[in-house]
A and B are shown apart, each in its own frame.
Chain A
Amino acid sequence: NAGVMQNPRHLVRRRGQEARLRCSPMKGHSHVYWYRQLPEEGLKFMVYLQKENIIDESGMPKERFSAEFPKEGPSILRIQQVVRGDSAAYFCASSPEIAGADTQYFGPGTRLTVL
């Protein structure tokens, strides 16, 4: 059973460009979470999605950031007009449908560098 997959593993963008980060959850998992991690810091929650629905986006910056989890295909985190402060590791996690005693499983992350 393949784990959570993220691509690309490394992404370099110039200021003003768009960054698209992809996440394929574990088989059978319908819940996806995105986190951001700055160097030497913990994980900061960004958004929680189920198929075709955004459940909680309280951690997402109001501008330039968006996320989707379509019926078919991976979840996408999109950052428009990137700035140097967007440089970070972005992690995706997935969990199965049962709530309460749930556990998240993480992907390897995408390291975004904005030049």
Chain B
Amino acid sequence: TQLLEQSPQFLSIQEGENLTVYCNSSSVFSSLQWYRQEPGEGPVLLVTVVTGGEVKKLKRLTFQFGDARKDSSLHITAAQPGDTGLYLCAGNDYGQNFVFGPGTRLSVLP
């Protein structure tokens, strides 16, 4: 059974701070996705990473896929209250199955 772990589970920071959240597994994935979910809404796709070692930037967000394609990180620079939400990672196991992590709940205080 494939499992994705995310850390930290909860994170509360002040506006302007930097942060990194992690997504780890013992399994190899063909691709990995990061989503942000706000209360009462569905997850919204932020990025898909495919190549081991790949780094993608989305404004203040930087995503990295581990060389072995088992882990990923999301770094946010100068966090803003609008970044508040549940950050979910999901891995594709070379087929059509997606495994989700439990999420990191981020709160950015003004």
CB-based contact B45/A103 at 8 Å: yes
Q: Given A99-B95, A101-B31, A102-B96, A42 and B42 touching (CB < 8 A)?
A: no
Number of contacting residues on B, CB 8 A?
A: 26
Q: Given A43-B43, A43-B88, A48-B96, A106 and B35 touching (CB < 8 A)?
A: yes
Q: Which residues from 66 to 115 on chain A have a C-beta closer than 8 Å to any C-beta of chain B?
A: 91, 95, 99-109, 111
Q: Which residues from 34 to 68 on chain A have a C-beta closer than 8 Å to any C-beta of chain B?
A: 35, 40-45, 48, 55-56
Q: Per-residue CB proximity of B20-54 to A under 8 Å, as 1/0?
A: 00000000001101010000111111001010000
- Distance (Å) between the CB of B39 and the closest chain A CB? 10
* Chain A, residue nearest B99 (CB): A45
CB-based contact A55/B96 at 8 Å: yes
Complex-state Cα separation, A34 to B97, whole angstroms: 12
CB-based contact A56/B97 at 8 Å: yes
Number of contacting residues on A, CB 8 A?
A: 28
Q: Which residues of B contact A40 (CB under 8 A)?
A: 105
CB-based contact B45/A48 at 8 Å: no
Can you list 29 A-B pairs with a CB-CB distance of less than 8 A? A4-B42, A41-B102, A42-B101, A42-B102, A43-B43, A43-B88, A43-B100, A45-B97, A45-B100, A48-B96, A48-B97, A55-B96, A91-B42, A95-B96, A99-B94, A99-B95, A100-B30, A100-B31, A100-B94, A101-B30, A101-B31, A101-B50, A102-B96, A103-B33, A103-B45, A104-B33, A104-B98, A109-B41, A111-B40
> Which B residues have a C-beta under 8 Å from some C-beta of A?
30-31, 33, 35, 40-45, 48, 50, 88, 90, 92, 94-103, 105
